[in-house]
Amino acid sequence: MIALPEVFTASVTALRRNKTRSMLTALGIIIGVAAVIAAFAVGAGANKSIDEQISSFGSNFIMVFPDRSSRSTMGSRSYLTDEDAEAIAREVSGIDAVAPMINLSATVVYENTNWDTSVVGSTADYSYVQDWSIAYGRDINQSDVRQGAKVIVIGSTVEEKLFPDTSALGKSIRVNKIPFTVIGVFEAKGLSAMGSDQDDFMLVPITAAQRRLVRWREAGRIGNIYIKGVSMTALNYIQNETEALLRERHRIMPGEPDDFAVRNVSQMLEARRKTTTIMSMLLGSIAFISLVVGGIGIMNIMLVSVTERTREIGIRMAVGATERDIRMQFLIEAVVLSMVGGTLGIIVGVVAGYALSTFTAAPPVFTLVSIMLAFVFSAMVGVGFGYYPAYKASLLNPIDALKYE
């Protein structure tokens, strides 16, 4: 029986003699491992980004917004109002704060400088619900809301664009041609998990937005409502009570669809878990199919190699190689091909992961576990699909092999 190092050396030598065929054989494994690593990294990156987005809302956060796609035709108005928000704050227990909101895009002008940004119309509770702090100046207050005062608090990006060399406090800026006085500047938060600028916005009293910026025909109409619960455990209760209250206020009859939607963080997390499960199943299928195809390629090439090297096998048996030696040589060749393919697949997968992440706006997340699993699985594919050609080679009759042309 020949020593294992000698068998290994013979296997590597045989692979090096046919470099092109060896690389083509390993190509299926390279593609399979790369696909698995890249897909897992991009999926993990997207999930991490979703988690960060959800956590940025807070752990006890609920959103209420109109749902016109399923609105009722029996007296439902299909929009929310100030009174809806006040009723929720007054009648639903377990609530810490409620912020009715209007969102719109606007062009803001100061002297000869203009900037396109987003405007939020809300109440004094908005900053608390959304966890915003004032860098300097002051926030809007209840008096501003009652009076519909033309005052505004700007984000740090807006300040940088309009007031690069001077203080913004007390300055008059025009929002869609309507003058507002700057009373404060928010502390910077930077980019969100999805790469958007969180500081590129402005806050005005919701009454000022209703009267001067949107001018909806419906009195007291708002865009959506943000609710902050006293705790995470209170969210489901708050959601159920809010839905029941709004159905009553909007005169939605039993059996009719809601003209609004209520979403809480726990639902978002559950939706993310379902998405993660589906993605994991999909990635598992891709991994299995890709690596099986690569394994079949290895088996086919190894069978061809056995046929081409029949005389070589006969000579090795004639000089003392046993069936085990022959079987081990071809099996090692298959495993080496798989491991080389797995190594190159890891490199290609990392590069592909970063390339694919440019389309998802979320950086890929590579884990040692996923890389090691892909590598080990590629080696297992080599053993599994390389065994039959190795076994077939070991059964050759030495005399017949020597006579083979």
Q: Does one domain contain both 26 and 72?
A: no
Shared domain for 254 and 275, answered yes or no, is no
Domain boundary among 209, 233, 258: 258
In this predicted structure, which of 149-158, 256-265, 287-296 has the lowest mean pLDDT?
287-296
Q: What is the pLDDT of residue 9?
A: 67
Residue 14 inside a domain? The answer is: yes
| Phi–psi pair at 145, nearest 5 degrees | -70, -45
Q: Look at phi and psi of residue 320 and say left if phi exceeds 0, alpha if psi is from -120 to 50, else beta.
A: left
Question: Which of 215, 230, 258 is the endpoint of a domain?
Answer: 258
List CB contacts of 161: < 8 A, sequence separation 6 or more: 113, 115
Flag whether pLDDT at 295 surpasses 50: yes
Percent of the chain with pLDDT over 70: 80
| 265 belongs to a structural domain | no
Q: Identify whether 263 is part of a domain.
A: no
Least confident of 17-26, 77-86, 199-208, 366-375: 17-26
- Assess whether 92 and 161 both reside in one domain: yes
- Confidence check: pLDDT of 403 > 60: no
Query: Between β-strands 134-137 and 178-186, what pairing exists: parallel, antiparallel or unpaired?
Result: antiparallel
Check whether 2 has a pLDDT greater than 50: no
**Residue of 203 and 337 predicted with greater confidence:** 203
Mean pLDDT, rounded, for 224-246: 89
Following CA atoms 275, 276, 280, 286 in sequence, which dihedral angle do they give, to the nearest 10 degrees?
A: 50
φ, ψ for residue 250 (rounded to 5)? -90, 5
Q: Total domain count for the chain?
A: 2
The pLDDT of residue 4 is above 60:
no
Model confidence at 156, in pLDDT bands (50, 70, 90)?
very high
| CA distance linking residue 8 with residue 151, whole number of Å | 79
Q: Could you give the dihedral angle defined by the CA atoms of residues 374, 378, 381 and 387, in that order, rounded to the nearest 10 degrees?
A: -150
Give me the chain's average pLDDT, please: 81
Domain shared by 126 and 247, yes or no? yes
| CB-count exposure of residue 97 (10 Å: 0-12, 13-18, 19+) | middle
63 falls within a domain? no
Question: Is residue 60 situated within a structural domain?
Answer: no
Looking at the structure, do residues 13 and 99 belong to the same domain, yes or no?
Answer: no
* 49 and 80 together in one domain: no
Among residues 224, 258, 292, which one ends one of the domains?
Answer: 258
Average pLDDT over residues 355-382: 77
Both 47 and 118 in one domain: the answer is no
Residue 36 sits in which domain range?
4-53+270-403
**251, 372: one domain:** no
pLDDT at 372: 83
Give Dmax over CA atoms of the chain in angstroms.
Answer: 105
Does residue 369 sit within a domain?
Answer: yes
On whether both 241 and 291 belong to a single domain, the answer is no
Give the residue with greater pLDDT, 264 vs 81.
Answer: 81
Please, which pLDDT band fits residue 75 given cuts at 50, 70 and 90?
very low
pLDDT band at 308 (very low <50, low <70, confident <90, very high): low
In a shared domain, residues 78 and 206: yes
pLDDT digits (tens, 9 = 90+) for 11-63: 566 666 667 777 777 787 888 888 888 877 877 777 777 666 666 655 578 89
Residue 331 has what pLDDT? 78
Buried b / exposed e across 165-180, counting CB within 10 Å, b at 16+?
Answer: eeebeebebebeeeeb
Q: Is residue 264 part of a domain?
A: no
Contact 283, 43 (CB under 8 A): yes
Query: 357 with 49: CB under 8 angstroms?
Result: no
Same domain, 252 and 320: no
pLDDT at res. 238? 92
- In sequence order, the 6+-apart residues with CB closer than 8 A to the CB of 393 are 306, 309, 313, 326, 327, 329, 330
In a domain, 61, yes or no: no
Q: What are phi and psi of 114, to 5 degrees?
A: -130, 160
Confidence check: pLDDT of 277 > 90? no
Global pTM?
0.60
Identify the band that residue 1 occupies on the pLDDT scale cut at 50, 70 and 90.
Answer: very low
Given a contact cutoff of 8 angstroms between Cβ atoms, the answer to whether 160 and 133 are in contact is no
Exposed/middle/buried for residue 230 (C-beta within 10 Å: 0-12, 13-18, 19+): middle
Task: Specify which residues 174 forms β-bridges with.
Answer: 109, 179
Q: What's the pLDDT score for residue 402?
A: 56
Are the C-beta atoms of 100 and 227 separated by less than 8 Å? no
Closest CA to 41 of 384, 316, 345: 345
DSSP annotation of 145 reads H
What pLDDT score does 195 carry?
Answer: 66
| pLDDT at position 399 over 70 | no
User: Does the pLDDT of residue 121 top 90, yes or no?
Assistant: yes
Q: Are residues 284 and 240 in the same domain?
A: no
DSSP string, 19-50: HHHHHHHHHHHHHHHHHHHHHHHHHHHHHHHH
**pLDDT band at residue 276 using 50, 70 and 90 as cut-offs:** low
- Average pLDDT of span 146-164: 94
Helix (H) or strand (E) holding 381: helix 368-394
336 confidence band (pLDDT: 50, 70, 90): confident
Q: Is the pLDDT confidence value at 72 over 70? A: no
